[in-house]
Structure 1
Amino acid sequence: MLENFWKDKYPADIPFEINADQYPNILAVLKESCQRFADKPAFTNLGKTLTYGEMYKLSGDFAAYLQKHSGLQPGDRVAIQMPNVLQYPIAVFGAMRAGYVVVNTNPLYTPREMEHQFNDSGAKLLICLANMAHLAEQVVPKTGVKKVIVTEVGDMLPPLKRTLINFVVKHVKKMVPAFNIPDAIKFNDALAKGKGQSFTEASPTNDDVAVLQYTGGTTGVAKGAMLTHRNLVANMLQAKAMMGNSIKDGEEVLICPLPLYHIYAFTFHCMAMMISGNHNILITNPRDIPAFVKELSKVRFTGFVGLNTLFVALCNDETFRGLDFSQFKVTLSGGMALQQATAERWEKITGCKVCEGYGMTETSPLATVNPIKAIQLGTIGIPVPSTLCKIIDDDGTEVPMGERGELCVKGPQVMKGYWQRQEATDEMLDAEGWLKTGDIAIIQEDGFLRIVDRKKDMILVSGFNVYPNELEDVMAAIPGVTQCAAIGVPDEKSGEAIKVFLVKAPGAELSEEQVKAQMRDSLTAYKVPKFVEFRDALPTTNVGKILRRELRDEELKKIANK
């Protein structure tokens, strides 16, 4: 039995199982934690801190506004589109407490991507940052969104600082294009209207969907993974358990540079750290390394959740290398492969080992992780408690220990399925609850797993999934393109970079910059290719299917021969 194999692979301070039914829903965890840690800091951003008690009160005010003024019905979907600001947890927990399903939306989405997600999810309400409200203005009339709430970066700050920050962002940095959305309401006005108002606290079952988290899955069509209250509660308990006794309740200061709308940061900072009563420092723009490091210098942080790209950028910063790391004890890495050289350099500079994990949107996301006190670089660790892993061949047969095959995961954190896409669900999930990850892995004798390849053609750019099908759809629409393909190639900064190949029609004039410009109009920035190559023909099967793998192998050979 698989259970027998895994049972003795766990360190003494980590349980083999958690009770996924310990809480009836996320709201029960929220209430308990906000009462237990009422005076403890929950989130800090731009110098302003919200305690757990304050966050609970504000999310209640927002829930009251939503129930009384939004016109939504229980179970309706609420799209939340903002970066790491204090408004985010207030909006998320307010929407959940009011009885709605959260749809996390990337603020970098183009109108095309927003329109698909809003229509696919059936979102009725959008809460967005003013910086992208001009895009919402274009998109909302084409969707079922009935109401829009707009917030500015500094809205949760004290009055004077709020006015200054919002003025600078809008008028000095010119980051807020003009927009006109009829009947849109300001976030702070919504909070004011709901303040002190009574509302009916939602009481969802553990099988009710809490979050629709969009992912490309195994194809380029963005699909909503239905993550239930039980999925997310289980994963927060699993994440907490895997920390063992290294993380102390109510005592840790965690740096949060990864976007909360991404499932990795969402589950860790909004869920696992909530149940632990710990303090999350929200970094709104981690790409601004000098400003980021300045924020780090203000706190004695004990933990950091990041990915390879970010570790490299920080290690290259002289000021970062001079920070006080005396309290630093936990670094977690996920979202993309951790390079050994990066991990070793990070440890040398900070004195803290990097603990790599593995997961997917469909697993809420954590599936495996290295125990903090037993890290094996180059592996993705062991399954989190109450989780089983197996390796199968192309026929679905489990392979012997140490052999490579597709990694499959089973546990209480595995999604309910894809929103309104039963066929896609059936491709990923079997009748016994095993999820096919599409990644090729090996299970070692000691229970640690290693990812050795990727079965599907997905490209992973700085932790974000990019699907060739979507890129190729956009390229195919460019006048003069007769064939096209997209692949991922190794990249020191982002893990993988996008390279596209195009065949032009006879006489067509098309440059690399024109291709990038046209793709930039339809795609988020990280989906725009770094490399463009024109060819006379692309390799295909005998039925004309382009062989992306052959193109990728060619690129890897070029790199190996350099």
Structure 2
Amino acid sequence: MLHLVRQAQAHPKNTAIISDGQSYTYNQLLEQSDHFAQRLLNGQADLAEARVAFMVMPGFDYVRVQWGIWRAGGMAVPLCLTYPPASLDYVLSDTGADIVVASARYTTIIKPLVEARQLRFIELEQLDEYDAIILPDLMPERKAMILYTSGTTSLPKGVVTTHANLDAQITSLVTAWEWQPTDHILCVLPLHHVHGIINVIGCALWAGACCEFLPEFSAADVFAAFQRGTINLFMAVPTIYFKLITYWERLHTPDQEALTAVMRPFRLMVSGSAALPVTVMEKWERVSGQILLERYGMTEIGMAISNPYRGKRVPGHIGQPLAGVGIRLVDDYDQPVADSQPGEIQVQGPTVFLDYWQRPQATADAFTDDGWFRTGDVAVVDDGSYKILGRSSIDIIKSGGYKLSALEIEEVLRTHPAIDDCGVIALPDEEWGETVAAVLVALHPIDLAELNQWIRTQLPPYKVPRQYRVVAELPRNAMGKVTKNDLKQLF
């Protein structure tokens, strides 16, 4: 039996999920995920790690589908709800998805792709007949999920995690952040990303706590949920905190004071997925009375480093390694650096992913000879706390909690008939952490407004460049590589 299921059985009458104005107990979640697992199996004994892609709104349906996939022995492949068809099709193709599940509102988007690939399709709202069977008994080593992340290659890679990986990622945080069955968290994060899946839903449901869903972010709706007085945890990316601060600052003083009074008793507020600007941390403390806990992780490792739940949280620092997670800082030759010297963060332990889906060379390249995962992030230990200094690859952009590949965006831009060449870079931004900018070499005069409309049909909104510059040629070094630091000077 999955550990997550066993944990849920210990809290049968607790409220597990609140979504769309309805409350669902752990008993209901267990029952409904069992039913969906049997629907998936349809008489089979075990899905045997078949890939099940799903495009479902955040809430009870999302969780019962995800748990149902796991309980049937499948690999869950959550799809981004804002992906254009080309990006969705890439994930279906790359995973070799066997089954696709969707809410009715997404059927018109996903069903043509499913039909073109002749895959099995399940629309949640339509009832199917299926044979009731006993669900398979799963070992922790079974593959559980594929999440997509952009690395230094041009196309996103599928990160494969096992049930044992998920258990380790969740329990490390449940212990570190002292989760309790009495906790109540609001989820506003996208659910094709480790932050929302593991840190919020996974931890809450492991602890027997309540997870309330806000399907689409709105500062007004977040604060309205806070004012009901039951929520005591909140986790978000710096961009969301920036938006909440902006909204709060526009309110009249009595309304500001009322919101601050509601947030001050919260047990914990966490920021992650991108560097937290110190200015945002300081403003949020004035707004909420809360000192944000900043932590460090990524799709391949879950969370690895965290500021303390009890103890001093240092602005601009990510804290100390979580229990059971091995961390070392190394030089370019994978040798540990001296104390107080910067080095690449490398991670080892049960939280680290299994492999990149069907990419043995990329997997081998991601690990050292002695089995440490290379994060590509550079840090230094400062007064006992880790501080991120930057990334070893200039082609990774962290924007609004997403890790983007500049090379992937460049490849898309180059398919436009008016573009001869391009370079994509990150620009610092207080709200988003970084924003995407593109320098173009055009074959003939180009309408940037039209270009922007076109690229929105090719890429998810968070990957679309915010600024453009057009030049006669791109600056390059002696080896012919574009010198991207020179591109930044154009902005």
TM-score range, shorter chain: over 0.9
CA separation in 1, counterparts of 2:36 and 2:448? 48
- Look up the match of 1:251: 182
- 2:22 is equivalent to residue 43 of structure 1: no
Distance in 2, Cα, partners of 1:380 & 1:525: 28
What pairs with 1:266-277 in structure 2 (closer than 5 Å)? 266-277=197-208
Separation in 1, partners of 2:428, 2:136? 47
When the two chains are superposed, the root-mean-square deviation of aligned CA atoms in Å is 1.9
Residue 226 in 1 paired to residue 160 in 2? Answer: yes
Map 1:161-560; keep pairs closer than 5 Å: 186=125, 189-190=127-128, 193=129, 198-244=132-178, 247=179, 249-286=180-217, 288-318=218-248, 321=256, 322-323=258-259, 324-363=262-301, 365-374=302-311, 375-446=313-384, 448-456=385-393, 457-505=395-443, 508-552=444-488, 554=489
> What amino acid does structure 2 have at the position aligned with 1:329?
R
CA contact (8 A) 2:346 2:375 kept: yes
Q: Calculate percent identity across the aligned residue pairs.
A: 25
Give the Cα–Cα distance (whole angstroms) in 1 for the partners of residues 196 and 433 of structure 2: 19
Instruction: Give, in whole Å, the separation in 1 of the partners of 2:290 and 2:194.
Output: 24
Residue 259 of structure 1 deviates from its aligned partner by 1.7
* Letter paired with 1:485: G
Residues in 2 aligned to 1:31 and 1:504: alpha-carbon distance in whole angstroms? 56
Deviation at 1:395, TM superposition (A): 2.3
C-alpha distance in structure 2 between counterparts of 1:220 and 1:203, whole Å: 38
Decide whether aligned partners of structure 1 residues 485 and 83 sit closer, same or farther in structure 2, where only a CA change above 3 A counts.
Answer: farther
Letter in 2 for 1:373: R
Residue type of the alignment partner of 1:370:
N
Letter in 2 for 1:113: S
Change (3 A) 1:239 1:416: same
The residue number in structure 2 matching 1:173 is none
Q: Distance in 2 between matches of 1:70 and 1:547?
A: 55
CA contact 1:356–1:369 (8 Å) conserved in 2: yes
Which residue type is aligned with residue 234 of structure 1?
A
**Match in the other structure for 2:110:** 136
The Cα shift of 1:66 comes to: 1.2
Deviations 1:437-490 (A, max 9, x none): 0111112352x2111011121111111122111111111111121220111101
Deviation at 1:71, TM superposition (A): 10
Deviation string, structure 1 residues 529-552 (Cα, Å, up to 9, x no partner) = 110110111111223222223323
Quote the Cα distance in structure 1 between the aligned partners of 2:156 and 2:21: 36
Q: How many residues align?
A: 481
Matched, 1:68 2:42: yes
Q: Distance in 1 between matches of 2:332 and 2:199?
A: 33
Cα deviation, residue 236, structure 1: 0.8
Distance 1:545 1:39 in 2: 60
**Stretch deviating more after TM superposition (354-363 or 103-112):** 103-112
1:504 and 1:325 map into 2 onto residues whose CA distance is: 51
How many angstroms does 1:69 deviate by? 6.5
Cα separation, 2, equivalents of 1:502 and 1:407: 34
1:55 and 2:29 equivalent? yes
What stretches of structure 2 of length at least 5 have no aligned partner?
A: none
For residues 136-192 of structure 1, what are the alpha-carbon distances to aligned partners after superposition, in whole Å with 9 as ceiling and x for unaligned? 13322343x6222234xxxxxxxxxxxxxxxxxxxxxxxxxxxxxxxxxx35x24xx
SS in 2 for 1:92: helix
Cα displacement string for residues 475-515 of structure 1 (whole angstroms, at most 9, x for unaligned residues): 1111121220111101122111111000112xx12121122
Are the structure 2 counterparts of residues 142 and 127 from structure 1 closer, same or farther at C-alpha, using a change threshold of 3 Å? same
2:40–2:72 CA contact under 8 A, matched in 1: yes
TM-score (normalised: structure 1): 0.82
Maintained 8 Å contact 1:216/1:223: yes
Give the partner amino acid of 2:85.
Answer: P
What amino acid is the match of 1:125? I
Q: Aligned partners of 2:45, 2:157: CA distance in 1, in Å?
A: 26
Deviates more, 1:437-446 or 1:85-94: 437-446
Q: CA deviation at 1:70?
A: 8.5
Residue 72 and residue 276 in structure 1: after superposition, are their counterparts in 2 closer, same or farther (change >3 A)? closer
In structure 2, distance between residues paired with 1:516 and 1:330: 39
* C-alpha distance in structure 1 between counterparts of 2:81 and 2:181, whole Å: 31
Q: State the distance in 2 between where 1:454 and 1:493 align.
A: 19
**Letter in structure 1 aligned against 2:75:** V
CA distance in 1: counterparts of 2:7 and 2:481, whole angstroms: 53
> How far apart in 2 are the matches of 1:296 and 1:218?
39
Letter of the 1:89 counterpart: V
